Amino acid sequence: MALAAVVEDSDFERDAAAREVRWTKQRLFGGRRGTIAFDAIQEVFLEIRSERSDSGLSRSRDARVFLRTREGALAMGSSNLDVKTARDAVALPLLTLLGRSPSALVERGPGTRL
């Protein structure tokens, strides 16, 4: 039963005409949904994580894309992506829809500059 609370499926739809992001987060037992107006999005940021392999010989980096509004931060998706995909396929196109420069993307985590 504890696993059911952790497994989550997320879906985000960016609607340029309505100028909003519609989202749903489904769990085995229930879910949530909502909309965020483009104007309410204060920041788009990547949370970058770094992990060493079990042997300690290699390191992997992955990322999650977050939207920050006045109410808090919302992860766009329930799993991590490789950093390039998170940046180039998710975050930067969203910033373009928002009418913001790619330089507005904030990256947080190991090896990033704040």
CB neighbourhood size of 45 (10 A):
21
- Full-model pTM: 0.79
> What residues contact 95, with CB distance under 8 A and at least 6 apart?
44, 101, 102, 104, 105
pLDDT given at position 6: 53
Q: What is the distance between the alpha carbons of residues 11 and 32, in angstroms, rounded to a whole number?
A: 11
Mean pLDDT of residues grouped by 10 in the chain (114 residues)?
54 92 83 92 93 76 92 86 92 95 91 58
